[in-house]
Amino acid sequence: MIWVFGDYRNYFQNRVTLQLLAKARSLAEDSGALVCAVALGHGVDEYVREYIAHGADRVYVMDHPALAAYSAATFAALLAGLAKTHRPEIILVGATDFGRELAPRVARRLDTGLTADCVDLSINEDGLLKQTAPAFGGNLLAEIVTPRHRPQMATVRPGIFAELPHDDQRRGERVDAPPPDPMPADPATLVESVFAPRRDQRLEEARVVICGGRGMGSRARFRRLYELAGLLNGEVGATRPVVYAGWADHEALVGQAGRQIKPRLLFSFGISGAIQHTAAIHDAEFIIAVNKNPEAPMMKMADVAIVADAGQVSAALIKQLKERLRKHS
């Protein structure tokens, strides 16, 4: 069995689990090994289906409310426990910030080796996992095998392998592992989880901007705009009340006191259209505004004005885009 740890945070941007499933499939070609994903968390059904559609034959699931937030210590204890029971030959983990915390802890618990930050993987003539990783500051590529200990463990950088196309017809098995009671403790306590938006491009240069205003209603609803921006390869902008409320950082402020933008496509969700804001969006080529109030100045300025709840329209758009992405991936 080849196991791939399911790292599903920031799912639409972080595809490393799917990339590793694809690689695991090619590693399993000769040996006929079963390719398995491991999903620890709470309410992870959606990811189970995704992993199967992207190449997993089997998904081990441990579902428990205590696993809703990622914890390196707890997840390491659970993954190591599952590995002791089911004895995979290989465990692959994405070299994300979390994966880099998790994998060494698991390797320590299983008393096996781990090659970090691999850039290639193959099976050698002895049937061992050949793990290629940069060494000596990247000047050399080392080929590493784990001949005596099991499982053979590697972390792999995101973006090295290509994921397989999504295949709705693929069938796989789901194995539910009972959560231990009590859960393994984590000496660290999660006090707060802070969302750090990824900014790939300058707001001023972005071709697609998703702007949100007070009408988004809450921080949680506003934050979904980042998901929408990710799907549209755009950036998120905000009005002043949103920045003051702490839903977005000051960098996102669009207007007289913030940034001037000139996107080809501008979404405006729950924004009234005060002059201090609109002064900065006159160069937008096409504006789609969503507001409950058809009389709002923003709606008058828009090319397409949708009278609706901004949270509902943005959520529906995200859903549609994800479905399209799935069909075309």
Ligand X SMILES: Cc1cc2nc3c(=O)[nH]c(=O)nc-3n(C[C@H](O)[C@H](O)[C@H](O)COP(=O)(O)OP(=O)(O)OC[C@H]3O[C@@H](n4cnc5c(N)ncnc54)[C@H](O)[C@@H]3O)c2cc1C
- Residues of this chain that interact with ligand X (CB under 6 A) are 213-215, 217, 239-242, 253-258, 270-272, 274, 276-277, 290-293, 296, 309-310
Q: b/e string for 212-250 if b means 16 or more Cβ within 10 A? A: bbbbbbeeebbbbbbbbbbbbebbbbbbbebbeeebbee
Nearer CB in complex with ligand X: 6/270: 270
What does the alpha-carbon distance between residue 83 and residue 153 come to, in Å, rounded to a whole number? 11
The 8-class DSSP code of residue 306 comes to E
CA 256/CA 278 separation, integer angstroms: 8
- Considering the complex, what minimum distance in angstroms separates the CB of residue 253 from ligand X? 6
Residue keyed to tokens 């992993």: 51
Residue with tokens 């698991």: 106
Least distance from C-beta 264 to ligand X, angstroms? 21
Residues 6+ away with beta carbon under 8 Å from 179: 62, 63, 64, 66, 67, 78
**Residues in CB range of 50: below 8 A, 6 or more apart:** 8, 11, 18, 166
CB of 212 to ligand X, least distance (A): 8
CB of 266 to ligand X, least distance (A): 13
**How far apart are the C-alpha atoms of 174 and 172, rounded to whole Å?**
7
14 phi/psi in degrees, rounded to 5: -105, 100
Cβ proximity to ligand X, 25 vs 240, nearer residue: 240
C-beta closer to ligand X: residue 190 or 275: 275
Provide, rounded to whole angstroms, the least separation between the CB of residue 197 and ligand X.
18
273: its two tokens: 């259209």
Give the nearer residue to ligand X in terms of CB position, either 38 or 253.
253
Residue 302 Cβ vs ligand X, minimum distance, rounded to whole Å: 12
Nearer to ligand X, 23 or 221 (CB): 221
User: Which residue number, 201 or 293, has a Cβ lying nearer to ligand X?
Assistant: 293
